[in-house]
Amino acid sequence: MLVYVAAHGPVSQREIADFFELDPAAVSRSLDALERAGLVATAPGRDRRSKAVTATERGLGTAHAWERVCDAEREVVLGGFTAEERELFMGLLARAYANLRAAGRGEKNLATDPASPKGGDR
């Protein structure tokens, strides 16, 4: 959540909840903890019920450090993959995620591969 706020802030709690597909109350509790830790700051939002959330300097430093760790892990996981293999892998992960989202909404798998003769329904 902190990395999202650092990259997109100022953002509303609703934007965060929508992006992460979380209950707004859970986001509010997480943001309270991040604010107590000095990683984010809140200000009044567009209306009385919303808050604008931004990363503090400490939060930006923490988010950047986390991104460096994730980048290093990504290189470990994808080590030896060609650029084409990485692109294919990321596309397959995106399709799998789309299937999970569709299933959560009670829909049929929607992720299709136009290059496949059977598409996404296998």
The pTM is what?
0.74
Q: What band does 113 get if pLDDT is binned at 50, 70 and 90?
A: low
* pLDDT reading at 31 higher than 90: yes
Provide the sign of the torsion angle of the four alpha carbons 43, 47, 50, 54, taken in this order: negative
Q: What band does 105 get if pLDDT is binned at 50, 70 and 90?
A: confident
Q: What's the rounded Cα separation, in Å, for the pair 111 and 22?
A: 22
Q: Which pLDDT score is estimated for 122? A: 40
Q: What's the rounded Cα separation, in Å, for the pair 69 and 81?
A: 19
CA distance between the termini of the chain: 35
